[in-house]
Amino acid sequence: MNTTKFFSILLIFISLSTNIFANSIKILVKVQDEIITNVDINNEIKYLLLLNPKLNELNNKRINEIAKDSLITEIIKRKELEKFYNFNKIGNITDLIESKFLERFKVNNKEKFIQILESKGLKYEFVKKKIDIEGLWNQLIYKKYSNNIKINEEFLRQNILRQFANNEDKYEYSLSEIFLTSSSNEDLDETLKKLKNSISEIGFENSALIYSSSNTSKNGGLIGWVNELQISENIKRNIYEVNVNGITKPIKMNGGYLIIKVNDKRAFKEDVDINKQLIELINKEENRQLNAFSIIFYKRLKKNISINEL
């Protein structure tokens, strides 16, 4: 083959490769100096489906929007975290979150978890990066706002003792949540109207993905099993008013409104250790307040970030 013919074939090959590449990968969003492509969106959808399979019940447009918003949130958080942490030197900081992942998927070692991820078309390194961001974000929020947490331990202790003193049966509840933030009552009324329609059309779990500001949103709002001694009086009163699969009225909280779905209910027969219940109740209240601070801090960051959809 002569040199001229060789280079002609090579140019055709490069041209074809470039066109194929251009057609397969498209830039959809720019978050400051970073891009989100259709490939990123597809990978994020796989990850979100891992956490909440009911996402598949939505149409493709809605799923893509949720994945895009999820990636924007992740980039904004990571950019802030990189000011304080070196991701190459974080060690075992996020091991606890990873262990909760293993527990959720009912596996006891990383190898089995990797097999689950591969069956969903996901790589462990991809998911580990997300676990690291979530773990470091939680740590950053704690460092910034732990001194602002206000908990009346004696009030909580007396509350547990009062409940324990009566002879009525105790229950634990499987709960899911949607936490709404709103700047005015008019915004809230409009959001609640949209949320009610959304729950009717696509279910509570998918609506949590779209509307909830809580860090449980990617899991369809799932909190899990909580015994009633660990639930605040305000929330508990609202839970008592609904049956299994029922949804509470909006509950006023610091920073917004909480809507709870009661997924299931069962008798709580475990021997009650008052001190243990108090510690768990304090932890839940601390996490609730930290989540509110996290939402406020994230919204502040987002206002100062350039986001352009292409």
pLDDT in tens, 25-35: 899 999 999 99
Element (H, E) at 34: strand 34-37
Distance CA 264, CA 174 (A): 5
**What is the edge-to-edge ordering of all strands in the sheet holding 27-31?**
34-37, 27-31, 307-309
Residue 236 located in a structural domain: yes
DSSP 173-236: EEEEEEEE--SSHHHHHHHHHHHHHHHHHH-HHHHHHHH--STTGGGTTEEEEEEGGGS-HHHH
* Closest residue by Cα to residue 124 from 107, 100, 116, 74: 116
Residue 253 lies in a domain: yes
Residue 227 near residue 214 (C-beta atoms within 8 A): no
Q: In whole numbers, what is the pLDDT of the chain averaged over residues?
A: 84
Looking at per-residue pLDDT, the higher value among 211 and 310 belongs to 211
Give CA separation, 286 vs 33, 179, 219, 260, in Å.
35, 16, 20, 19
Of 2-16, 17-31, 38-52, 273-287, the poorest mean pLDDT is in 2-16
pLDDT at 13: 52
| DSSP result, 12-28 | HHHHHHHHHHHHH--EE
What percent of the chain stands above pLDDT 90?
42
Q: Which stretches within the chain are classed as H helix? A: 3-24, 38-51, 60-81, 95-104, 110-119, 124-145, 153-165, 185-202, 204-211, 233-240, 274-303
pLDDT of residue 1: 54
Query: Looking at the domain assignment, is residue 137 inside a domain?
Result: no
Q: What is the CATH number of the domain that holds 164?
A: 3.10.50.40
Q: Does residue 211 form part of some domain?
A: yes
Q: How far apart are CA 231 and CA 276, in angstroms?
A: 14
Mean per-residue pLDDT for 220-246?
Answer: 89
What is the 8-class DSSP label of residue 122?
Answer: -
Sheet-wide strand order for 171-180: 222-227, 171-180, 256-267, 251-253
Cα gap 143→283, rounded to integer Å:
16
Question: What pLDDT score was predicted for residue 10?
Answer: 46
Domain that includes residue 205, residue range: 153-275
| Total tally of structural domains belonging to the chain | 1
* pLDDT attached to residue 21: 47
Residue 166: what pLDDT? 66
The answer, yes or no, to whether residue 121 has pLDDT greater than 70, is: yes
The pLDDT score that the predictor gives to residue 256 is 83
pLDDT-based confidence at residue 63 (cuts at 50, 70, 90): very high
Question: Does residue 264 fall inside a structural domain?
Answer: yes
Token code pair at residue 240: 């008592």
| Residue 299 counted as domain residue | no
What would the pLDDT profile of 3-31 be if each residue is shown by its tens digit? 555 445 544 455 544 444 445 889 999 99
Look at residue 227 and tell me if it is in a domain.
Answer: yes
| 254 is a domain residue | yes
Backbone angles phi, psi at 301, to 5 degrees: -65, -45
